[in-house]
Structure 1
């Protein structure tokens, strides 16, 4: 897609203005570039801890000094009618504070995963957004990608036969002790809440089902300064309706690997790499033969910010709303409980939840337009 003209005021009025809250690596390398080529959104403001840093980012993005704010100035966004949404890219323990502050001033919220650092805060975020009448989307990037949708649709259409087993791996090494991801208070956990949540959420997404039970184990080395507060590795198993079993591995101490495998009675599929930002590779092995599914090059984050912008413009609920984020917190809490107890933990359905239903925590009436089933 050609780059959007960021200096065209009329073009901007037809799109949704975002303020990015938190200017780390993800914002600099992925989100700001995605907003520059977005069809339905654009970057209107940036918020960070240091004004000099904010102004430098603003200038590089074609904005003015007046478009840069510090965290203390966050509420000044209330007077910015051109800022309709905020994208929270902060340590997990700050998600609740800034989501509540954004909701209070009437800004829609796209929040990086996990939705919060714990279940209580995640539920509080959903409640605050509902009370304020603002939209909330959990940034589950995989739910907006054509490869993941192709796999999900093939499974739903029975092209692999009845699904029997799934496995997913997401590992990376964290070399530097003291970073926020290794701080239990800031992160809310170790690799499970950071990279393992990709496995957890994508397994739920492609099956469309909710686990009935979880079983898990973790390892936290005693003499490694990186893991004084959080685990190094987690292995967990999910039991889905119909006897489907999924296994997942995540770690901060293993060489970078990310994959997703689905095994059906009549075929299989492998997404490898599965969770990186570019060049995903999907192989399908079906009775008619083995194929590699290719899609034209695209920006993953553009799909995500465009979907939320469309929801705001059309007044529709986002596909991966707050309920989706809360459900993963419920399941991660059960995974940690199982790892501590050494026992399988039953996942009780919520009141009114159709345990046999498909995609019960997603807003299926608003499937991402560019990725409708059948593509």
Structure 2
């Protein structure tokens, strides 16, 4: 088995170590004003604190279904009362020129409505993943933003996280040699009584939620799109959490090169897991944890892969702001979200019918 030299490893990582925002010129422009739509735990604990590390983005407005949250969070972030909106009054954001982008952080089934309303109000849109329950919903969001002349980003934070970016580079550049095997596993122990247990809000179970990370990893590490998929769903008996949504999904993606990607997702895993492994004919790359909010690791043949950590949330947010300012393409646009949802629906079909499903050209 060949070996990468220390010099090659450091050289490969050097571009990633330059800056957490290494992909954009550090221009002295006015930060893009963002409205945060949905003030749940992810918004308050991950997304909003990341703005403190942003160079090109700032929070200027809040949108929520709860007046108490608007007051509490608005006071904490210094958002004036005139820039705090309820869902039913959010169309008034069209008259607030400080708001340039809206970050939709609500249950997936609500993404299309809020994204379309934001676009019609003349705002750029970032939507959390999964993009929406169905391909038709995704297309509604894409079409609304295109018609309004506004950009659409899907919040695939791992695309902006340095360990994942370095893994993509290693896999696609040939550093691992010819890729022979690739798998990704993501799951956690989901508490009951949340929107995730309601198909009408979530659009599905573990595959639609945490499984997106497994699906994404197989796609972005291989650099290929699947031509055929298979899936099997397993639900534990007598567990009320899974009356409406699925628990564990085992799935495969067959790629044009002949490579088979293996993935899993789960809602009853204890402890939780998020990892991927790529085996080449020269080297093996492993990341575990792979897609956590922090503390991700990367190893090559069991040895640490030198990568400088970054704030993935800030990098994702600032990327979109710079796309808005510079009129450049978004790294994770709506079309990326649509591709995932098409595959997820094909996986559900395979699990339902017990047969492989061929992917149709989009």
| Same fold? TM cut 0.5 | yes
Counterpart pick for 1:146 among 156, 162, 167 = 162
Partner of 1:116: 132
After alignment, is 296-305 or 133-142 more displaced?
Answer: 296-305
Q: Secondary structure at the match of 2:257?
A: helix
Are 1:226 and 2:241 counterparts? yes
What residue is the counterpart of 1:50 in the other structure? 66
Distance 1:79 1:268 in 2: 54
Worse-superposed segment, 294-303 or 246-255: 294-303
Measured after TM superposition, the shift of residue 145 of structure 1 is: 1.3
CA distance, structure 2, for counterparts of residue 145 and residue 300 of structure 1: 5
Deviation for aligned residue 1:119: 1.5
Work out the CA distance in 1 between the residues paired with 2:100 and 2:305: 37
CA distance in structure 2 between the partners assigned to 1:317 and 1:13 by the alignment: 19
1:179 is aligned to 2:194: yes
**Size of the alignment, in residue pairs?**
335
Q: Tell me which residue corresponds to 2:316.
A: 304
Of 346, 350, 366 in structure 1, the residue corresponding to residue 358 of structure 2 is: 346
Say if 2:63 and 2:90, in contact at 8 Å, map to a contact too: yes
Per-residue deviation, 1:62 = 2.2
Gaps of 5+ in 1: 1-10, 351-375
Q: Counterparts in 2 of 1:1-375, with a 5 A limit?
A: 14-176=30-192, 178-255=193-270, 256-285=272-301, 291-350=303-362
Matches of 1:310 and 1:133, distance apart in 2:
16
CA offsets, 1:29-52, max 9 Å, x none?
Answer: 111111122111011111111122
CA contact (8 A) 1:109 1:135 kept: yes
Q: Quote how far apart the aligned CAs of 1:295 are.
A: 3.2
Deviations, residues 69-127 of structure 1 (Å, cap 9, x unaligned): 11111011111111100000011110000011011111000000011122211111111
TM-score (norm 2): 0.90
Partner SS for 2:158? helix
- What is the DSSP-based 3-state SS (H/G/I as helix, E as strand, rest coil) of the residue aligned with 2:209? helix
Q: Displacement of 1:241 after TM fit?
A: 1.8
Per-residue deviation, 1:273 = 0.2
CA separation in 1, counterparts of 2:179 and 2:28? Answer: 46
* TM-score, length of structure 1 as denominator length: 0.87
Structure 1 pair 154–72 and aligned structure 2 pair: CA distance change class (3 A): same
